[in-house]
Each structure stands twice: as C-alpha cells, then as structure tokens.
Amino acid sequence: MAATRAKNGGNNKTPDKSGSENYDKLEQMIGRSITLQEETKERLNKLDCRFGTFEKEIQEIKKEMSQVKKMEESIKEIKNEVINIKNNVTVTDSKVEIFKNQMEMMMDQMALQELRQKEDTLRFRGCKEENKENLREKMTTALAEFLGMEERLMEREIDRIYRANTRFAKDRKVSRDIVVTFARKKIRDEILIKHSKTRVTIRGQEIRVLKETPLHILRKRKDYAPLVNWLRDNKIIFRWEPLEGVSFALNEKKILIRSAMQAQDFLKESAEYEKIQ
C-alpha cells in the first residue's frame, strides 16, 4: 500500500510541475503576443501618421497644381492680350502711316501752290542796310543797270519790294534780305539767267540772288546736300525740280534724280566708277 501510495504520490507531483511549465510558456506566449500586438499597433500608428502626412502633402501638391493651372490660364490670357495689343498697334501704325502720307501729299500741294505764287519773286541777300534808305530807288537803279534797261521801265517792272525779317539775319546780325516781286515773270527769269554768269552788284557790293522757295521744299532738298556738293565740286550745272529732285547732264546724258535714296545710289555708283578710272 505504502509503495502504491508512494508511487501515486510521485505521479501527482510530475503533472503539477509540467502544468506550471506549460502555464509559464503560455504566459510567455501571451506576453509575446501582447508585445507583438503593441509593436504592431505602434507601427500602425506610425504608418497612420506617415499616411496622414502623405495625404497632407498630396493636398498641398494638389493646391499647388491648382495654382499652377491658374497661373497658366493667367499667362495664356496675358498672351492673348499682348497679341490683341500688337494687332491694335499694327492697325494704329498703319493708320498713322496713311495719315502721314496724306499730310505729306497735302503739304506738297500747298508748297507747289506757294511756289507758283512766288514764281515772279526774287530774294537779294547781302545788300547793306542804310539809315532812311529808299529801297525801291536803290533796287530800281541797280537792276536797271544790271539788265541794261532804263530806270523808268524797271520801275514799272517792280510790283512790290521790302526787307524780310528773319531769325537768320537777327541771330547773325547781318543785313536783312530784300524781297522783290516783279510784275512779270520774264524779268525775274532774265535776272536769274544773267546772274548765273555775272553777279549782281549794288553800290560796289556783290549780292546773292535767290529764288523764293517754300520751307517745305527746302526741307526736302536738305537730303540732297551730298549730291549737290558733288555736282558743285565737279562743276556740273544742275537744276532743282519743282517739288523734289535734281536734274543735270553727265557725259552727254540727262540724269533725273527723284529721291534721296536714288541720290545715294548715284553717289555710290560714281565712287565705284572713279575707282575704276
């Protein structure tokens, strides 16, 4: 019996120890599971945070993309406005150019009309002014002697005479020009023709004789200065065209220059020709 009890007692102790070990293992497994669960939760929380941050970044990128799109639309609108402005400027430039051309044509017509009105008038430059001078008597005597006419006949040919007040004379403190309008254009032409060979002199003083030319035409003629200087240097007789241009004879050939550009081309060709010679 005792042996039997002892044996049974021994069997009871063995199951108790095995159960305790199993319980410890179970607790360890549960602890590990809890730890793993907590670690997993912590990782999930971190992932949630990262995902939240990522969502915010995505939202910000979307906002930025929206702003970029708005900027692109604004740039497109600005480009369209610029194109419209350029088109308007082009149209305005065309209208301005048309207006300029119309004004130039009108000024040309007025200048030609003024030129016709003054085709019987001459300007005498360099005649010294005198106190209480009798201008008509002085010019009648001088011009009658110049053309070999009687003074009484020349008196009839002079329609109007006066000294012109100009800024040129005032600034340089020189004698004012004498403007003479003749009754007939023929006398004016005779004076010009003879003056091209023999200078007019008044009381021993040599006088320049000039045609009355409208200011608009004089401005046009400034562009021909290089050509005119070349003609004078080469002693080539030239003639101004009524409105614009120069005509002259060269190598027994009549040449007509009608624009400043044509005058430049002629001078270039002449320079090349002189190099060859």
Q: What are phi and psi of 182, to 5 degrees?
A: -95, 155
In whole angstroms, what is the distance from residue 221 CA to residue 245 CA? 8
Retrieve residue 270's tokens: 């002449």
In the prediction, which pLDDT does 146 show? 94
In whole angstroms, what is the distance from residue 100 CA to residue 107 CA? 10
Taking CA atoms, 33 is separated from 37, 43, 184, 230, 271, in Å, by 6, 15, 134, 113, 108
In the prediction, which pLDDT does 8 show? 45
- pTM of the predicted protein model: 0.58
Retrieve residue 272's tokens: 């090349």
In the prediction, which pLDDT does 77 show? 80
Residue pair 209/200 in contact by the 8 Å Cβ criterion: yes
In the prediction, which pLDDT does 274 show? 61
Location of structure tokens 């119309």: 102
In whole angstroms, what is the distance from residue 213 CA to residue 160 CA? 17
In whole angstroms, what is the distance from residue 124 CA to residue 135 CA? 12
Domains of the chain by residue range: 213-277
In whole angstroms, what is the distance from residue 228 CA to residue 257 CA? 11
213-277 fold: Rec A Protein; domain 2 (3.30.250)
Residue pair 163/176 in contact by the 8 Å Cβ criterion: yes
What distance lies between CA 174 and its chain's CA centroid?
A: 39
Of 148, 142, 118, nearest to 128 by C-alpha is: 142
In the prediction, which pLDDT does 64 show? 73
In the prediction, which pLDDT does 49 show? 76
Residue pair 178/165 in contact by the 8 Å Cβ criterion: no
Retrieve residue 45's tokens: 């929380």
In the prediction, which pLDDT does 275 show? 56
Retrieve residue 245's tokens: 């241009």
In the prediction, which pLDDT does 266 show? 93
Average pLDDT per 10 consecutive residues for the chain, totaling 277 residues:
44 54 72 74 73 74 75 78 80 82 89 90 92 92 94 94 88 91 95 91 89 91 94 92 92 92 91 58
